[in-house]
Amino acid sequence: MGTSTTEAVIAAGAAAAAAILEERAAAVGTNPPRHMLRALIAEGYARGYQAALGEAPDGHTVLRVPLRTDDLALVEELLAAIAECTAPGATSHGELSVELLATMLLEDCALAHRRPGSWEGANMLQVLSDHGYAP
């Protein structure tokens, strides 16, 4: 990666991180916990990397999944209702977007193998089992 590409990634990442912080300001408050701030900045730089290079940063994969438009609208309504009822700083990932929700749920599926017995992984295994997918 050349200097101009590196600078483009840094600029795009900083802009994306700032935009995420601004759009979630109500949820994260003026002094968010470090873990939340790190997650928001990492998300911003991942978005910036994708914007600058059209690909995912090292160790990440971008997934594209089809979703019915009416289902997406229902998920967005649900996320808006959740945001109205959630206290700022009370969540593990900040205000949920559709992308962040998908990421969080897939991470929880990974925890079923990474940390067997974790509440996140156990709950995801229960959901999968309820759909007929049992390991």
pLDDT tens per residue, range 30-84 = 777 777 777 777 777 777 766 666 666 667 777 778 889 899 899 999 988 988 8
Question: What local confidence, expressed as pLDDT, does residue 132 receive?
Answer: 94
Task: Identify which of 15-24, 76-85, 124-133 has the greatest average pLDDT.
Answer: 124-133
Q: Has residue 25 been placed in a domain?
A: yes
| pLDDT surpasses 70 at 2 | no
Q: Has residue 42 been placed in a domain?
A: yes
Question: What local confidence, expressed as pLDDT, does residue 101 receive?
Answer: 86
**Structure-token pair, residue 46:** 């991942």
Contact at 8 Å (CB) between 1 and 9? yes
Domain residue limits at 89: 3-96
Q: What total of structural domains would you count in the chain?
A: 1
Q: Has residue 106 been placed in a domain?
A: no
The interaxial angle of helices 69-85 and 98-114, nearest 10 deg, is 80
Closest of 15, 13, 39 to residue 91, by C-alpha? 39
Give the residue-averaged pLDDT of 93-99.
78
Residue 135 burial (C-beta neighbours within 10 Å; 0-12, 13-18, 19+): exposed
